[in-house]
Amino acid sequence: MAVLYAIVGCAMLLGKTVSAQGAAYSQCGGQGWTGSKSCVSGYTCTYSNDWYSQCLPGTNTQTSSTPTPTGGTGGGSGKTKYAGVNMAGFDFGMATTGTQDASQILTPPNAQMSHFVNDDKMNIFRLPVGWQFLVNNPGDQLNSGNFAKYDNLVQACLATGAACIIDIHNYARWNGAIVGQGGPTNDQLANTWSQLASKYASKSQIIFGVMNEPHDIPSITTWAATVQACVTAIRKAGATSQMILLPGNGWTGAASFVSDGSLAALKTVKNLDGSTTNLIFDVHKYLDSDGSGTHTDCVTGNVDVFNNLASSLRSAGRQAMVTETGGGNTQSCINYVCQEIAALNANSDVYLGWVAWAAGAWQPSWNYELNLVPTQNGNTWTDTSLVNACFKRT
């Protein structure tokens, strides 16, 4: 894709039209697109949305200027099963060291979820929460008052009919110390998960997200043992059939999930019966210049990243969920995020879905880069430009 974009840039400077055909999986159309609108043999320019069309496997090599939607690749249906948004608030004040300033915690407004489901056709929410908010110390019983506040959000999510991801948002740490590797023991984290799983064992919509964005973990195999302890605890608590999301090292980044050994290590995690049913890899990927999700502009659609990981997932016979991705409400992010969603849809056999970051308790006055909070006027909701362009489903 980088080569194609370079050719397009030169052609624009020279005032000429690019005649080269688009490579497999490259962009071939969309609002503002000036490159080739035809694809190499065996691929057809396939419409995703007004901002992005992509060269996907097909019998035609050329398309009209208004291509029509078709199915995905690799056995995918052309649309991921799940699409939704994070509801931030109970994770506020959490540093990447796994230390939380409780004074920053805010309660996400439940009404947003009804809007996203009813108006935008979303069907999944991730509900991040600090471990310190749930328990006073590792291994303790749930803090009844705090858990009641969190459970109110969970119940509101369940009431929409959507899937609801419970996400402990601690970066594999408690106050700077890594779980299972010098910090809290595996059993202490597993104890929290056992309590949570027992609360929601009868709720098929619940998905358990073991841990948000582990990073700088000395041993990925030791981390896989920590994940295994949590899976075992969840299943023994009676949640025997729900999905469990397995996070890797390196902020569980999609680009490094194979190269840093996360996929290989987490493949060894099993259910009580030895199967891997509903054990789903948890991956993240942002689109800004350093992949941090802290800038308003985007520079990539991550198409190659997700296509490459999709191949590895197919080889392993496994699936993944993208539980964090997104960008600012800018034209560059509209272009690139729509590309990314198209790539996930095209590989929907291995990507179950995506959850954008983030709505919830963010305040518009904060000028947060990735704010997806809709505004409400009476019974009318207005979404941000990025939600309208790329995340809303029709």
Is residue 306 domain-shared with residue 356, that is, in the same domain? yes
What tens digit of pLDDT does each residue of 93-113 get? Answer: 999 999 999 999 999 999 999
Please count the CA atoms within 13 angstroms of the CA of 175 that sit on its side-chain side. Answer: 8
Q: What are phi and psi of 309, to 5 degrees?
A: -65, -35
Q: Is 337 inside any structural domain?
A: yes
Same domain, 48 and 156: no
- Do 371 and 292 lie in one domain? The reply is yes
Same domain, 110 and 217: yes
| Cα–Cα dist 283/323, whole Å | 6
Return per-residue pLDDT of the chain as tens, 394 residues.
233 222 223 222 223 333 478 776 677 877 666 788 888 887 788 776 555 677 776 643 233 222 222 223 344 558 999 999 999 999 999 999 999 999 999 999 999 999 999 999 999 999 999 999 999 999 999 999 999 999 999 999 999 999 999 999 999 999 999 999 999 999 999 999 999 999 999 999 999 999 999 999 999 999 999 999 999 999 999 999 999 999 999 999 999 999 999 999 999 999 999 999 999 999 999 999 999 999 999 999 999 999 999 999 999 999 999 999 999 999 999 999 999 999 999 999 999 999 999 999 998 788 999 999 999 999 999 999 999 999 999 8
Residue 199 lies in a domain: yes
Together in a domain, 122 and 43:
no
CA–CA distance, 223 with 283 (Å, rounded to integer):
16
DSSP 388: I
Residue 133 CB: number of other CB atoms within 10 A? Answer: 23
In angstroms, the CA 23 to CA 303 distance is 12
What mean pLDDT is reported for the chain? 89
Residue 45 lies in a domain: yes
| Residues 210, 343 within the same domain | yes
Residue 74 lies in a domain: no
> What is the pLDDT at residue 63?
30
Are 97 and 52 in a shared domain? no
What is the distance between the alpha carbons of residues 227 and 313, in angstroms, rounded to a whole number? 19
Pair 157, 269 in one domain: yes
Rounded Cα–Cα distance for residues 341 and 364 (Å): 25
The catalytic residues are 213, 324
Work out the number of other CB atoms within 10 angstroms of the CB of residue 3. Answer: 10
Number of domains composing the chain: 2
Pair (151, 45) in one structural domain:
no
203 is a domain residue: yes
Statement to judge: residues 271 and 320 lie in one domain: yes
Please indicate, yes or no, if residue 89 is contained in any of the structural domains. Answer: yes
* Measured distance CA(173)–CA(165) in Å, rounded: 20
For residues 88 and 109, give the distance between their C-alpha atoms in angstroms, rounded to a whole number: 10
Phi and psi torsions of 338, nearest 5°: -65, -35
User: Do 110 and 223 share a structural domain?
Assistant: yes
Q: Final residue of a domain: which of 7, 38, 56?
A: 56
Question: How is residue 142 annotated by DSSP?
Answer: P
Instruction: Find, among 387, 394, 384, 380, the residue nearest to 115 by Cα.
Output: 380
User: What is the value of pTM for the model shown?
Assistant: 0.84
Distance, CA of 251 to CA of 214 (rounded, Å)? 5
**Residue 117 and residue 44 share a domain:** no
Decide the pairing of beta strands 52-57 and 27-29. antiparallel
Domain span at residue 326? Answer: 82-391
User: How high is the pLDDT of residue 48?
Assistant: 61
Question: Do residues 371 and 329 make contact, with C-beta atoms less than 8 angstroms apart?
Answer: yes
Rounded Cα–Cα distance for residues 333 and 330 (Å):
5
